[in-house]
């Protein structure tokens, strides 16, 4: 069973809607390494999550990249949401940037199934994340680097607007694409055009040929 690794129920709703039945959430908070690109963070997370789960995993790292802020908050989007909140992120953009306040959402999916990798023989207690993390940290670094990971990226362009809509999650209410905010779409509509939907489409295509 493929595990969609995230602590974010909003992502799960979209991934399950898209992948339909072949996937289950793994609510595992992998270490987010400090890096300026989502791919590095996701790849690292996928290796760690695979070691933890010992099952095929798909890690989803996403963020909002504001053009006029040189891509900020980007990989720090989660931190900016927790500390400032999305309304303040919008107001900062409104105060500093002229219209249209262009931005993109990006999503990188990282797949790892341990191919070419011998998993640790001792079983991982799934209820003990600290022990699992400690065990992970003890793994030899070269062995970790050898774990193959496949990346799939999706992007969507839009502009920042005052918050509208009750759907979606995160920055969706302040991100408008062709006149509609992502929070004004249901998950099917959002998936059809979103960064995550595009990444999921690429993954789905590849995964299907792989399992045929
Ligand atoms: P996991 O790492 O456990 O998956 P997270 O919510 O921390 O959950 P990210 O680090 O990828 O996930 O998220 C970065 C931020 O971007 C966070 O504040 C999310 O709410 C936001 N975000 C991610 N995808 C989004 C989307 O499709 N629409 C709006 N905001 C999104
Ligand atoms: Na995260």
Locate 88 and state its tokens: 């303040």
Contact assessment for residue 199 and residue 155, using Cβ atoms and an 8 Å cutoff: no
Q: CA dist 54 to 47, 73, 84, 110, 151, Å? A: 10, 32, 36, 15, 19
Contact assessment for residue 102 and residue 68, using Cβ atoms and an 8 Å cutoff: yes
ipTM: 0.98
Give the CATH class of 2-211: alpha beta
The ligand 1 atom nearest the CA atom of 172: 29
Q: In what order do the strands lie in the sheet with 57-66?
A: 23-26, 2-5, 57-66, 102-112, 150-160, 175-177, 180-181
Distance between start and end Cα atoms, the chain: 15
Locate 19 and state its tokens: 């992948």
- Ligand 1: distance of its center to the CA of 62 in Å? 5
The residue nearest atom 21 of ligand 1, judged by CA position, is 170
Q: Are strands 150-160 and 102-112 parallel, antiparallel or unpaired?
A: antiparallel
The residue nearest atom 1 of ligand 1, judged by CA position, is 6
The ligand 1 atom nearest the CA atom of 38: 11
- Catalytic residue numbers read 61
Question: Measured between alpha carbons, how far is 207 from 51 in angstroms, rounded to an integer?
Answer: 20
Per-residue pLDDT of the chain (212 residues; tens, 9 = 90+): 899 999 999 999 999 988 887 799 999 999 999 998 999 999 999 999 999 999 999 999 999 999 999 999 999 999 999 999 999 999 999 999 999 999 999 999 999 998 854 444 444 444 444 544 544 555 545 455 568 999 999 999 999 999 999 999 999 999 999 999 999 999 999 999 999 999 999 999 998 887 66
| pLDDT value at residue 136 | 52
191 lines ligand 1 (CB under 6 A): no
The residue nearest atom 14 of ligand 1, judged by CA position, is 78
Q: How many CB atoms lie within 10 A of CB 33?
A: 13
Element (H, E) at 172: none
Sign of CA dihedral 22, 25, 30, 33: positive
Task: Name the closest ligand to CA 109.
Answer: 1
Locate 10 and state its tokens: 């909003």
Question: Measured between alpha carbons, how far is 61 from 63 in angstroms, rounded to an integer?
Answer: 7
169 lines ligand 1 (CB under 6 A): yes
| pLDDT value at residue 143 | 52
What's the pTM?
0.88
Locate 101 and state its tokens: 């306040």
Q: Where are the domains of the chain?
A: 2-211
């Amino acid at each position: 069973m493929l595990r969609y690794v995230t602590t974010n129920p909003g992502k799960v709703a979209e991934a399950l809607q898209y992948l339909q039945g072949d996937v289950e959430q793994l609510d595992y908070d992998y270490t987010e390494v400090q890096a300026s690109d989502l791919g590095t963070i996701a790849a690292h997370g996928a290796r760690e999550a695979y070691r933890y789960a010992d099952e095929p995993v798909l890690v989803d790292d996403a963020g909002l990249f504001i053009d006029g802020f040189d891509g900020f908050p980007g990989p720090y989007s989660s931190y900016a949401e927790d500390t400032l909140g999305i309304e303040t992120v919008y107001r900062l953009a409104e105060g500093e940037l002229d219209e249209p306040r262009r931005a993109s959402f990006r999503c990188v999916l990282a797949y790892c199934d341990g191919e070419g990798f011998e998993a640790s023989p001792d079983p991982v207690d799934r209820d003990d994340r600290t022990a699992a993390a400690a065990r992970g940290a003890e793994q030899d670094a070269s062995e970790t680097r050898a774990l193959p990971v496949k990346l799939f990226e999706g992007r969507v362009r839009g502009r920042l607007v005052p918050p509208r809509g009750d759907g979606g999650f995160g920055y969706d209410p302040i991100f408008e694409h062709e006149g509609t905010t992502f929070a004004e779409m249901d998950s099917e509509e959002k998936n059809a055009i979103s960064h995550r939907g595009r990444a999921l489409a690429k993954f789905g295509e590849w995964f299907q040929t792989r399992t045929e």
